[in-house]
Amino acid sequence: MNYKVIDPERYYRKGVYRHFTQDCKCSTSMTARIDVTALKEYGKKTGTKFYINFLYLLSKTLNSREDYRMGYLWQTDELICYDQINPTQYVFHEDTETCSPVYTEYQEDYQAFYRSALSDLEQAKLTREYGLDAKRHPNWFDASYISWLSYDSLNIELPDGYLFFAPIVNWGKYREENGRLMMPVTVRLNHAVADGYLVANVFRLLQKEIEAFCKEKP
């Protein structure tokens, strides 16, 4: 885990950062549907799992800009930017109707990430413990699939005053709309390090990553 410390006085969002860390501590979230038709078709052609392919592209998207890799060290009151952030995915246990967090390290190499993510999921299926360990995983972001519903909106609440900068991303079932498979995705970011543009940009960048991935891969 490596990071650089950012001087708040030289941060390009200096005024916004001050306001939303001192005057009005809050987050901002947005839900939109993205087109996953090509990604679904890619999974069918290659025999790979749609879920892991999407998780890879989501992780790649969030690592593409420093804005999505921000962190706050409350012990030293420092604004930082991680070199890399990794997804905390989840496995659902049908028998107990509970889930277990799964820590998977992001790797730019698709094949390496796919193997690791699949292995991590299989290992997590063997436990029924919640096992969330945020203290030892500060540069992990929450990536959670809500498989039971193609929802229209979702909101994640965090306590006021808690400067949590890691992205929280949820997505639901895709559904057919006008011949395309559209999937709801929700992105939550702290307002101190992101505004509407930066939240919306996650969807735009993610859609581009999906299109590029499906064109490049056989």
120 vs 136, residue with greater confidence = 120
- Number of domains observed in the structure of the chain: 1
Q: Are 108 and 125 in contact (CB under 8 A)?
A: no
As a whole number of angstroms, the distance between CA 191 and CA 171 comes to: 21
Q: What is the CATH number of the domain that holds 196?
A: 3.30.559.10
Q: What is the overall mean pLDDT for the chain?
A: 94
Contacts of 14 (CB under 8 A, 6+ apart): 8
> How would residue 218 be classed by pLDDT, with cut points 50, 70 and 90?
low
Best CA proximity match to 169, nearest among 205, 133, 135, 136: 205
Question: What is the pLDDT averaged over residues 160-167?
Answer: 84
Best CA proximity match to 87, nearest among 73, 72, 107: 107
% of the chain residues with pLDDT over 70:
98
Phi, psi angles (nearest 5°) of residue 107: -130, 135
The range of the structural domain enclosing residue 64 comes to: 3-216
Mark 75-109 as b/e (b = at least 16 C-beta within 10 Å).
Answer: eeeebbbbebbbbbbbbbeeeeeeebbbbbbbbee
